[in-house]
Amino acid sequence: MAKGKLIVIEGTDGAGKATQTQLAYKALCEQGLAVDMRSFPNYGTPACAPVEMYLHGQFGNGPRAVSPYAATTLYVVDQFASFKTDWQTIYENGGIILCDRYTTSNAIHQASAFEMDEQKAFWQWLEDFAYDKVGLPKPDLVLFLDVPVALTAALMKKRAAETNTECDILESDLAYQQLCRGTGMRAAEALGWKAIQCFSDDVTDILPAEAIHKKVMRHISKIL
């Protein structure tokens, strides 16, 4: 049996990745397709413990307290453990895997540690490391939800209040988030991702979730 499809929804923090992953999952289930949904980091699992330590500032404060190569390795171990124990069989038996983030997040967050002219080399290293060396499956489709940081910041603050949680060291650094948005758009162009504009043309508001969902499903339908 042919392998399934791996679809990843990416974006900066607060861009609506979880919402769009859930909406796409529901839509594909309603079509009668075999689909599974995963979210990274895979919080609460043993393999994710180092990632949680990093995000909680136990390795140092700020997004650059850890080498981008070391941070990438932490995330890849988490994703590899999930793949081997949770969804490899589903994927290899033809199922559709929807991921809210994946190792592609490193192409946004960790690549932002480099100057623009050095990012291409990091992306090449990342893909070789994660897909060729470690053996993670390469996505069939990566969707980058593009939202200005000024709009996502308000959403993250609201989410933190509603869930009674604090933003992690990456979410709380707005200058870092702005940097990542630019890196994400460059990664989308360089790596063949599909960028989706999730905000109004006058840049005053985020589009309704259902409007973004329709854009997402148009891209997904093309590869199924």
Q: What is the pTM of this model?
A: 0.90
End-to-end CA distance of the chain: 15
More confident residue, 18 or 1: 18
Interval 89-137: pLDDT, tens:
999 999 999 999 999 999 999 999 999 999 999 999 999 999 999 999 9
Q: How many CB atoms lie within 10 A of CB 108?
A: 24
Q: Among residues of the chain, what percentage have pLDDT more than 70?
A: 91
Per-residue model confidence (pLDDT) at position 169: 46
Q: Among residues of the chain, what percentage have pLDDT more than 90?
A: 78
Q: Is 57 left (phi over 0), alpha (psi -120 to 50) or beta?
A: left
Please state the separation of Cα 130 from the chain's center in Å.
Answer: 15
Q: List, in sequence order, the alpha helices (H) in 128-163.
A: 149-163
* Buried residues in 10-42 as b, exposed as e (16+ CB within 10 A): bbbbbbbbeebbbbbbebbeeeeeebbbbbbbb
Interval 168-220: pLDDT, tens:
545 556 788 889 999 999 999 999 999 999 999 998 899 999 999 999 999 99
Tell me what the mean pLDDT of segment 156-179 comes to.
65
